[in-house]
Amino acid sequence: MKRRAFLRISTISLAASAIGARAQEVQDITPLVQAITGGAKAEEGGIEIGLPPIAENGHSVPLTVKAASPMTESDHVREIHVIAERNPRPAVATFHLGPWSGRAQVSTRMRLAGTQKVTVVAVLSGDRFRIARKEVVVESAACLDEGSL
Amino acid sequence: MLLGRIQVPPSVQRGEVFEVRVIVQHPMETGFRRDYDGKLIPLHIVDRLACRYGAREVFRVELGSGIAANPYFVFPVVATDSGEMVVEWSDDRGEKGRVSAMVNVA
Amino acid sequence: MKCDFARQTAALLLASLCICLHALAADPARPVPAKNGSEFESADVRALQSDDFANPMALWVERGKAFWSRTFDGRSCAGCHGDAARSMKGVAARYPRYDASAGEVIDLSRRIDGCVVGGLGAQKLDAESDDLLGLEAYIALQSRGMPMNVSVDGPAHATWEKGRGLYFTRVGQLNLACTNCHDASWGKRLLAETISQGQPTGWPAYRLEWQRPGSLQRRLRACFNGVRAAMPPYGSPDLVALELYLAWRAQGLPMEAPGVRR
């Protein structure tokens, strides 16, 4: 129950800091991770975070997450959480998979508000957790383009 | 109705893990951008997307403004029976979208 | 004797052919080698553009395709033009062009609007609207891979000259002309970006910076903005003249619209 409400909790708790200007500071995402694991320890590794080391544009950065898992009934990845520590809303997305997925893998395009670490927490069957991080350098546009529309 | 597209392989073998690709047209407005007059453009996002294969939900994502505009997802599914793969999504204003494709299992 | 003569003639023909080709390619107003905008984008952006499903423009192509068959009091694009894949093939590669009924050079989006209002009897489509961009993307797709090929003869010539003048005129607080970046400095780095040749063949395009698609006119307005100059309004003669000049400058370059740009 706690974990399913993760995205809503984090949105509410960070709304205060998100109101107004975009968050430029790196935030402490420990509370978000704890909300996912319920305080339990997450094992390091076992997750491959596919992100370009340098993202030319923070508006759309391709992300692929692969977690090593047999994806059987008794041993599979249930959830994949993506957290961006410098985004004004660090909770990016929660993906739900299961043995019917065959592979613990998802791809999407995310936004990155500046150079930062992206953290992925995987929730496995049997209340096990894994965590991994990847640093992405995010570049800015050379020419200002506001107001062209 | 919101516009979206889905792509599945033309045919798959039973037991094979195949990829489903989905893209949805949506601005995913963050609520932090300002228009030319300096006014804040309100938050407007797809917050939920799920995929049903036959009777079973095989994929679901809760998302927010951290997902890029025109949300795009690729996820794997184990081929069981031939049937319809239905993707439905909704945004924070109650707008919904639906797109589907037939999965042909050999 | 006969063999030597044949060989000499062949050599002469080959030499003159080379000279002719060299002269054609060496127009000083055109960058050599001519390169599409996608060649100056990152690998991710290039991959996105060439993926017909993941390219966000595909959503607008779908939209344009849907509009194509939509009926307005019994009238539709399809009703006159049939299958777009056949009737619109090569069309986008020939725009902007002089239009007799308009009495001036117009770009593709203006031509589309003219059809929507005159041919369908429907409401004019706003600049940068989803429907207009959708139609433009759908039609431009039918020219993908074909060489840009606009005519600047006859009544179009004055517009071409105007466009050329604008292309070489310094503007804005940064006091830059198009040529300063896109001829003198293409391939060089500007902060984290590589300056392109400013070729128009990828437009309309999905610009990540806008998080939506836009027309070439929008991109040109953004350029004026970038050098801190006043932006010409949509549909202005200056923008159309520039579009024509850029299309002429891109002669022979394969169309790659609908594109993806940073």
Domain count along chain C = 1
Does domain B4-103 fall into CATH 3.40.50.20? no
**Residue B28: predicted pLDDT:** 97
pLDDT mean across residues, chain A: 86
Q: Is C18 a catalytic residue?
A: no
Cβ–Cβ gap C59/B28 under 8 Å:
no
pTM, whole model, 2 decimals? 0.88
Q: What is the DSSP letter of A87?
A: S
In a domain, C239, yes or no: yes
Q: How far apart are CA A141 and CA A134, in angstroms?
A: 23
For chain B, say whether C211 makes contact (Cβ under 8 Å). yes
For chain C, say whether B25 makes contact (Cβ under 8 Å). yes
- Residues comprising chain C, all counted: 262
**Residue A22: predicted pLDDT:** 47
> Which pair of tokens denotes residue C50?
């060439």
Instruction: Name the residue among A60, A89, A105 with its Cβ closest to that of B76.
Output: A105
Domain boundaries, position C80: 35-261
**Residue C13: predicted pLDDT:** 60
> Which pair of tokens denotes residue A42?
């997450």
pLDDT band for position C91 (cuts 50, 70, 90): very high
For chain C, say whether A148 makes contact (Cβ under 8 Å). yes
Pick the more confident residue, B38 or C165.
C165
Q: Which residues contact C164 (CB under 8 A, 6 or more apart)?
A: C29, C245
Q: B72: number of CA atoms within 13 Å, CB side? A: 23
Chain C residues with CB inside 8 Å of B21's CB? 53-54
Cβ–Cβ gap B27/C212 under 8 Å:
yes
pLDDT band for position B57 (cuts 50, 70, 90): very high
Q: Does the pLDDT at position A145 exceed 80?
A: no
C223-236 pLDDT, tens digit each? 999 999 999 999 99
Report helix angle C216-226 to C237-249, nearest 10: 100
- Selected for mutation to probe chain C from A63, A115, A138, A143 (highest C CB count within 10 Å) is A143
Mean pLDDT, to the nearest integer, of C180-209?
A: 95
- Selected for mutation to probe chain C from A140, A148, A149 (highest C CB count within 10 Å) is A148
A143 in Cβ contact with C222 (< 8 Å): yes
**Residue B35: predicted pLDDT:** 84
- Selected for mutation to probe chain B from A19, A89, A105 (highest B CB count within 10 Å) is A89
Closest alpha carbon within chain C to A137 = C192
Q: Where are the domains of chain B?
A: 4-103
Q: How far apart are CA B60 and CA A95, in angstroms?
A: 6
Percentage of chain A lying above the pLDDT 90 cut:
74
Q: How far apart are CA C150 and CA C111, in angstroms?
A: 15
Min Cα distance B26 → chain A (Å) is 13
Q: Domain of A10: which CATH number?
A: 2.60.40.2470
C39-89 pLDDT, tens digit each? 999 999 999 999 999 999 999 999 999 999 999 999 999 999 999 999 999
**Residue C223: predicted pLDDT:** 95
pLDDT band for position A20 (cuts 50, 70, 90): very low
Chain C residues with CB inside 8 Å of B68's CB? 211
**Residue C23: predicted pLDDT:** 42
Instruction: Name the residue among A89, A102, A149 with its Cβ closest to that of B64.
Output: A89
Q: Does the pLDDT at position B74 exceed 80?
A: yes
Cβ–Cβ gap A149/C219 under 8 Å:
no
Q: What are the φ and ψ backbone dihedral angles of C83, each rounded to 5 degrees?
A: -75, 120
Q: Does the pLDDT at position C33 exceed 80?
A: yes
> Which pair of tokens denotes residue C226?
């970038």
Q: Does the pLDDT at position A58 exceed 60?
A: yes
Q: How far apart are CA B63 and CA A92, in angstroms?
A: 6
Mean pLDDT, to the nearest integer, of C88-111?
A: 97
DSSP letters spanning A26-84: PP--HHHHHHHHTTPPPEE--EEEE--SEES-TT-EEEEEEE-----SSS-EEEEEEEE
Whose CA is closest to B82, among B54, B101, B103, B57?
Answer: B103
Q: How far apart are CA B82 and CA C113, in angstroms?
A: 44
In a domain, A57, yes or no: yes
Q: What are the φ and ψ backbone dihedral angles of A26, each rounded to 5 degrees?
A: -75, 130
**Residue A118: predicted pLDDT:** 98
Mean pLDDT, to the nearest integer, of A49-78?
A: 96
**Residue C6: predicted pLDDT:** 66
Strand partners, B44: B29
For chain C, say whether B41 makes contact (Cβ under 8 Å). no
B66 in Cβ contact with A22 (< 8 Å): no
Min Cα distance A104 → chain C (Å) is 21
Q: Would you tell me which residues 39-58 of chain A have a C-beta closer than 8 angstroms to some C-beta of chain C?
A: 52, 55-57
In a domain, C26, yes or no: no
CB contacts < 8 Å between B and C, how many? 30
Give the 3-state secondary structure of chain B. CECEEEECCCCECCCCEEEEEEEECCCCECCCCECCCCCECCCECEEEEEEEECCEEEEEEEECCCECCCCEEEEEEECCCCEEEEEEEEECCCCEEEEEEEECEC
Cβ–Cβ gap B5/C211 under 8 Å:
no
* Across A19-23, B73-77, C109-113, least confident range: A19-23
In a domain, C168, yes or no: yes
Q: Which residues contact B64 (CB under 8 A, 6 or more apart)?
A: A7, A11, A89, A91, A92, A93, B45, B47
Closest alpha carbon within chain A to C48 = A62
C115-161 pLDDT, tens digit each? 999 999 999 999 999 999 999 999 999 999 999 999 999 999 999 99
For chain B, say whether C157 makes contact (Cβ under 8 Å). no
Residue type, C140: A
Q: Does the pLDDT at position C2 exceed 60?
A: no
Chain A residues with CB inside 8 Å of B32's CB? 21-22, 88
Whose CA is closest to C136, among C57, C75, C199?
Answer: C57
pLDDT band for position A9 (cuts 50, 70, 90): very low
Pick the more confident residue, C202 or C9.
C202
Min Cα distance B86 → chain C (Å) is 17
Domain boundaries, position A88: 6-138
C240-254 pLDDT, tens digit each? 999 999 999 999 999
Chain C adjacent subunits, 3+ CB pairs under 8 A: A, B
